[in-house]
Structure 1
Amino acid sequence: MGLSGFRAELRYERNAMKKTVALGWLVAMVGLGSSPATSSAASSAADARPNVVVILADDMGFSDLGSYGGEIETPILDGLAANGLRFTQFYNTGRCWPSRAAFLTGYYAQQVNRDPAKRRPEWATLLPELLRTSGYRTYHSGKWHVDGPVLAGGFERSYLVTDHDRNFNPREHFVDDRPVPLPKAEDHYYSTKAIAEHGVSWLAEHEKAHKDEPFFLYIAFTAPHFPLQAPAEDVARYRDRYQVGWDVIRDRRWNRIKQLGIVDGALPAYDPKTLPGWNLSEEELHARIGPGETGVVGPWDALTDEQKRFQTAKMAVHAAMVDRMDRGIGLVVDRLKAMGAFENTLILFMSDNGASAEQMIRGDGHDPKAEPGAARSFLGLGPGWATVSNTPFRLYKVWNHEGGISTPLIAHWPKGIAARGELRRTPGHLVDLAPTIFELARITPPDSYHGEPRPPLPGRSLVPAFAHDVTVPHDFLFFKHEGNRALRAGDWKIVSNGPAGAWELYNLAVDRTETHNLAADQPDRLKALVAIWERQDREYQTQGATGKR
């Protein structure tokens, strides 16, 4: 194809995609009979700028929460969902640091040179920097995984955990970017507890010294990321819950998800062949962890009795980590209520990627004699239970199939969101959070920063969806990580495993679980979408390479 023909095809693709999005928008509008330009959220924001609390889980699957179909006890988050909104088609990037870059900059990670992880261009300022200059107080607690110090990123107070391999005895952690003494045994330190308590302390400090100013609090838990470690009393509450095995638990979750109206379709078969290339082999897992470990997913009844016991214990620890995180969020909610800030605080909760099939040993190694979940153990969830956590979607963290990039999104704001317990079906992405917060905070993002021009933000404000179940229109949503690739335009999605993998095509309107590949049936549509992905990939790489820090 000549250059002129290629350009003509791209013009056709742009028009076709715009029509596809516009059609979905029109259908939503006809069904609702309302305008996306008006919302109770927007009118409430005109009265007083809301406080914002963003809570990010680490490696939590789509269906781990009770309000998204899971059996883990998460009453705090379920309560926020029951009195707010649940988004059913919200996306992260499939990995921890690109997701944090997308949320904190408002750009795809490739646009800001953060996937692969490098330093941001000068123009790629962070969300808290802009909020701080507009009168917000800014606080952070937990994981960072962004280039540069936390305070240099715009936060005024920070509790930072950089040791992600030890939940009971970190080798390093920081307050305001300065190292603090390591915890002692009598401190009963646990990372989730510490992250929540520091968030609460920043709120108490704010109430005392800055009560009349709005605040932005970012709480980034390290749970339930490996190593699977949790207090023994928490694990005990789930010890017997998973003896029925992952086949039964997955089916139960799937039935609840359909009953809740979150996702419908067909439940995909297990995928025993797609695993992280850096995982320990089956032989290494047996040698270094024990005969109860397994690195493959398949029917539960194919496991030995010893494997069933061990796998049951692992999932109990994962559940305990999610449970303890929920209780930590409860401390934050209680503090917001006590300081009279709960009603005008927008709380957003999500996960940085899907559940992980990774199985490796880091930190202090693994003691096979240690109880699963104890400080001397180092276990990963593995593909069996990760498949359950990501129910009903395919694959895991790192991949761009729905299991890797789909996240719950709970939005709760009593003063600005009138809906209670409703679902929002609009597709959205972490890059949408910055435009949403900017709108509510009445901030116009700068066209340049540090003397360098900034590209337009790729995301769209979700504020219209706070009032009604409307579609927030995007030309497309872009994904790329570890060579895995995807693009969603309207209800159509292309996805491939690895740079040499064949492109697959799905109509997510009827096949959200990606069970019917239409690539061979619709080659023209596939070609058009691939051309868009390739164009955006080149453009984003060029943007990420600009500027120096």
Structure 2
Amino acid sequence: ASVLPVNTTWFPAVLKDHGYSTYHSGKWHIVRKVPEQSQMTHVEVGFDRSYHTEDGRHLRPHHLWEDGEEIPVPEGGSGYEASVAIVDHAIKYLEEHKQKGGNEPFFEYIAFIAPHFPLQALQEDIDMYREKFLVGWDEIRKLRTENRKELGFDVHEVNPLEPERYAPWNLSPEELITQIDSADIGRAIPWNDLTEEQKDLQATKMAIHAAMVSRMDREIGRYINSLKELGYFENTIIFFCSDNGASTEIMNRADKHTIGAEPGSADTYLCLGPGWSSASNTPFRLHKTWVHEGGIATPMVIHWPEGIHKGNVFRNTPAHIIDIAPTILELAGGDPSELEGRADAPGQSLVPLLNEDKQMERPPLFFHHEQKKALRDGPWKITTIEEDGQWELYDLSQDRGETKNLAAEKPEKLDELIKLWQVQRSEIIKQLGAADTNPDSL
């Protein structure tokens, strides 16, 4: 038992016990860390079929796997694009499911690798956005704030750019110039401080990013059309969400960057960088790697024609990705306790929110990532900006952008939440036990 993962119950396997067929297509990243690091198989996790892509290569993969076996990769110049291939296989599994009779329920996990770096996209997709972002990230931040106001969202002061905040493992300014492009820039500075050459490269990078998102969006549409054609659409609940906010990271990995190659091609390794990450995360503060809202707050869309009575509405209660499994399990006729392994499974069902906007009581949400700490309890949130940095306190019901630190004004509330964070951390370390070789890294 000492070498098992923290929670030895896998959600797809639980669904299979309820009569579901289970399918996966896309990114994997399910790794066993003890006794030594290795990839878990789709069978161990509970998937009937699985198409597994590799990270970091959107246009020219070196390795692909199906049902645990490596399969031939497309030849260069084939027009391969990862989001297209992921949906191709997702639809293939749906069609096979239909051919087998199609009456039993199914669960399909589609894990896109877009728009994660490197920025790579089909040229026809990039061309749609080539001129759009020449206005710069400052103007885009302004336009997005105005758009939020038009849509009826609360609009607060947007934090200024923070040039000193970027991933510590980024390429140095010298490496950026020598490995990527002399016009690239690794800091979020005002757009008008850039040279014309820098503006052109930055606008191109954002165009590639937009092309990746656009292609993924159209592929999701193709998958939904398949659900309709196969007769599954009306009674299929769809969850769409992302894992984190936009990233400041600038690296040179995988096949490395070829200076002078066409931006966005398979021979390039461009990254979004802090300037466009700031714009993408507007109106929230900071980025992936941090646990401020810009790093951890992402939208989730839930769609279910037969089960959600009114569409195009918003829910205002906080939720987390840990809530998806108990939600689906309740709808499948199961009980969240079935998800518990060595430790109680986190998360709670969101079923009560599907047809009613109300506040749900829930345990505090705990975060500890890259030594940055946070906890949300109702409207209150504490967070740190640096490893072992000072705690900050925000009332997110009034200040979702984390613009006014209330730590000095409300020391009792700050202390209360810090103690909750410490209790939660101790509980998680206890759950990890021998499964974590270094609990202090949590």
Taking structure 1 as the reference length, what is the TM-score of the superposition? 0.76
Shift of 1:526: 0.4
Q: Which has the higher contact order (CA 8 A, sep 6+)?
A: 1
Distance 1:478 1:455, change over 3 A: same
Shift of 1:428: 0.6
Distance 1:289 1:186 in 2: 23
Shift of 1:426: 0.7
What is the match of residue 511 of structure 1? 399
Contact 1:493/1:506 (CA < 8 Å) preserved in 2? Answer: yes
Shift of 1:259: 2.1
What is the match of residue 402 of structure 1? 293
Distance 1:319 1:448, change over 3 A: closer
Distance 1:262 1:129, change over 3 A: farther
What is the match of residue 214 of structure 2? 323
Q: Does residue 184 in structure 1 map to residue 75 in structure 2? A: yes
Shift of 1:359: 0.1
Q: Does residue 474 in structure 1 map to residue 362 in structure 2? A: yes
Distance 1:349 1:339, change over 3 A: same
Residue 214 of structure 1, aligned match among 88, 97, 105: 105
Q: Does residue 288 in structure 1 map to residue 179 in structure 2? A: yes
Partner secondary structure for residue 224 of structure 2: helix
Q: Does residue 411 in structure 1 map to residue 302 in structure 2? A: yes
Q: Does residue 156 in structure 1 map to residue 48 in structure 2? A: yes
Contact 2:26/2:111 (CA < 8 Å) preserved in 1? Answer: yes
Partner secondary structure for residue 419 of structure 1: coil
Shift of 1:181: 0.6
Contact 1:482/1:498 (CA < 8 Å) preserved in 2? Answer: no
Distance 1:448 1:279, change over 3 A: closer
What is the match of residue 413 of structure 2? 525
Distance 1:448 1:461, change over 3 A: closer
What is the match of residue 441 of structure 1? 332
Q: Does residue 375 in structure 1 map to residue 266 in structure 2? A: yes
Distance 1:445 1:510, change over 3 A: closer
Contact 2:14/2:338 (CA < 8 Å) preserved in 1? Answer: no
Distance 1:220 1:274 in 2: 29
Instruction: Output aligned runs, 1:67-146, within 5 Å.
Output: 120-121=5-6, 123-146=7-30
What is the match of residue 307 of structure 1? 198
Distance 1:355 1:119 in 2: 33
Instruction: Output aligned runs, 1:198-213, within 5 Å.
Output: 198-213=89-104
In the alignment, residue 280 of structure 2 is paired with which amino acid?
S
Gaps of 5+ in 1: 1-112
In the alignment, residue 58 of structure 2 is paired with which amino acid?
N
Contact 1:483/1:497 (CA < 8 Å) preserved in 2? Answer: no
Shift of 1:446: 4.4
- Kindly report the root-mean-square deviation, in angstroms, between the aligned alpha carbons of the 2 structures: 1.6
Contact 1:254/1:391 (CA < 8 Å) preserved in 2? Answer: yes
What is the match of residue 63 of structure 1? none
Give CA deviations for 1:181-207 in whole Å, capped at 9, x if unaligned.
111135321111101111111111111
Distance 2:93 2:379 in 1: 42
Distance 1:390 1:210, change over 3 A: farther
In the alignment, residue 152 of structure 1 is paired with which amino acid?
E
Contact 1:371/1:377 (CA < 8 Å) preserved in 2? Answer: yes
Distance 1:260 1:185, change over 3 A: same
Distance 2:382 2:276 in 1: 26
Residue 242 of structure 1, aligned match among 133, 147, 153: 133
Partner secondary structure for residue 506 of structure 1: strand
Shift of 1:448: 8.2
Residue range with higher mean Cα deviation, 375-384 or 149-158: 149-158
Shift of 1:444: 1.8
Shift of 1:356: 0.8
Partner secondary structure for residue 139 of structure 2: helix
Q: Does residue 345 in structure 1 map to residue 236 in structure 2? A: yes
Gaps of 5+ in 2: 32-39, 437-442
In the alignment, residue 202 of structure 2 is paired with which amino acid?
Q
Shift of 1:263: 4.2
Give CA deviations for 1:423-472 in whole Å, capped at 9, x if unaligned.
111101111111111110111244687xxx54333312111111111112
What is the match of residue 159 of structure 2? 268
Partner secondary structure for residue 354 of structure 2: helix
Residue 423 of structure 1, aligned match among 314, 323, 337: 314
Partner secondary structure for residue 174 of structure 1: strand
Distance 2:315 2:429 in 1: 32
Contact 1:351/1:408 (CA < 8 Å) preserved in 2? Answer: yes
Distance 2:116 2:18 in 1: 34
What is the match of residue 110 of structure 1? none
What is the match of residue 103 of structure 1? none
Contact 2:11/2:339 (CA < 8 Å) preserved in 1? Answer: no
Residue 246 of structure 2, aligned match among 340, 352, 355: 355
In the alignment, residue 257 of structure 1 is paired with which amino acid?
R
Contact 2:237/2:302 (CA < 8 Å) preserved in 1? Answer: yes
Residue 335 of structure 1, aligned match among 219, 226, 242: 226
What is the match of residue 378 of structure 2? 490
Residue 501 of structure 1, aligned match among 380, 389, 393: 389
Shift of 1:172: 0.8
Distance 1:228 1:447 in 2: 40
In the alignment, residue 493 of structure 1 is paired with which amino acid?
K
Partner secondary structure for residue 353 of structure 1: coil
What is the match of residue 193 of structure 1? 84
Contact 2:339/2:345 (CA < 8 Å) preserved in 1? Answer: no
